[in-house]
């Protein structure tokens, strides 16, 4: 699985997180669960809310980020993150561990749908892949699979399991890449006039190769 020559793959720096969060916000705009969560919120407040809710955690040393950039425009078109088991990241501080393990509810945005957000939050807590986001216009070009292959190779080298909470579209892609479905959470999107299938969040697990 090679990238086309017009694109390059690199580790992303933590100071690129504002741009990566904005890609996440754009990539998720058509995800029905996301639409219902933020239907009644002020849309210009969503990105600052994402930064506030996930920024501090994503900056910690146990998470590494990678991106795919379009060479001609310099635009980042896809990214992912992987959280490493702490035995491989001794630099993570005791103080940070306390923050990570605290069961505090994340801040909510005014008028967000808390019922659906609670299900998404439960799914996200299962994760050690920290998002896979491909900009519309660049989807279905193999970038999600490229990023996943990279993370799978790291997991194989260290003998680590990978957990992903996946949307229906993401779930299709991850199952092609060796992930197995171990649980399904349901946001019951039929309550909001959507097809029930759109509310399923798939908890996926991949065991390292040879385990
Ligand atoms: C889901 C996502 C990460 C997949 O990355 P991608 O680069 O588009 O996918 P790839 O080209 O590597 O792989 C394509 C496969 O992914 C799955 N897939 C991607 N987009 C899909 C869609 N809109 N509907 C159904 N399946 C889809 C399919 O299995 C597809 O294979 P196919 O084209 O043979 O049917 C990307 O489309 C995305 O960011 N979507 C919006 C945000 C999101 O849902 N993120 C995933 C959270 S788990």
**Is the predicted pLDDT of residue 146 greater than 70, yes or no?**
yes
132 Cβ below 6 A of ligand 1: yes
Position 92 scores a pLDDT of: 65
Position 17 scores a pLDDT of: 97
Position 107 scores a pLDDT of: 84
Position 210 scores a pLDDT of: 75
Helix-, strand-, coil-residue percentages of the chain, each rounded to 5? 45, 25, 35
Instruction: Kindly report the pTM of this predicted structure.
Output: 0.94
Q: Which fold has domain 7-206?
A: Aminopeptidase (3.40.630)
175 Cβ below 6 A of ligand 1: no
Q: Specify the DSSP class assigned to residue 55.
A: H
Tell me how far the alpha carbon of residue 169 lies from the centroid of ligand 1, in angstroms. 5
**Domain extents for the chain?**
7-206
133 Cβ below 6 A of ligand 1: yes
Position 59 scores a pLDDT of: 93
Tell which wins on pLDDT, 95 or 54. 54
Nearest CA-CA partner of 143 in 159, 130, 131, 132? 132
pLDDT tens digits, one per residue of 126-144? 789 999 999 999 999 999 9
Position 204 scores a pLDDT of: 97
**Encoded tokens for 65:** 């980020």
Angle between helices 46-59 and 94-101 (to 10 degrees): 140
pLDDT tens digits, one per residue of 68-118? 999 999 999 999 999 988 777 777 677 777 777 776 777 899 999 999 999
Average pLDDT over residues 26-38: 96
Q: Which residue's CA is the nearest one to ligand 1's atom 10?
A: 142
The single residue listed with the structure tokens 């379009």 is 70
């Amino acid at each position: 699985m090679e990238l086309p020559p017009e694109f390059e793959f690199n580790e992303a720096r933590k100071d690129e997180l504002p741009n990566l969060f904005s890609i996440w916000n754009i990539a998720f705009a058509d995800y029905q669960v996301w639409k219902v969560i933020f239907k009644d919120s002020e849309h210009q407040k969503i990105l600052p809310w994402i930064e506030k809710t996930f920024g501090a955690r994503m900056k910690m040393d146990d998470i590494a980020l990678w991106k795919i950039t379009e060479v001609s425009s310099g635009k980042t078109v896809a990214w992912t993150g992987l959280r490493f088991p702490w035995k491989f990241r001794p630099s993570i501080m005791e103080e940070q561990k306390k923050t990570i393990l605290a069961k505090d509810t994340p801040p909510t945005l005014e008028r967000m749908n808390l019922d659906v957000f609670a299900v998404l939050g439960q799914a996200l807590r299962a994760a050690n892949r920290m998002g896979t986001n491909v900009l519309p216009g660049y989807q279905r070009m193999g970038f999600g699979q490229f990023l996943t292959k990279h993370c799978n190779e790291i997991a194989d080298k260290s003998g680590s399991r990978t957990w992903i909470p996946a949307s229906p579209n993401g779930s299709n892609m991850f199952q092609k890449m060796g992930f197995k479905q171990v649980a399904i959470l349901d946001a019951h999107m039929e309550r909001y006039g959507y097809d029930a299938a759109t509310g399923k969040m798939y908890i996926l697990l991949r065991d390292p190769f040879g385990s």
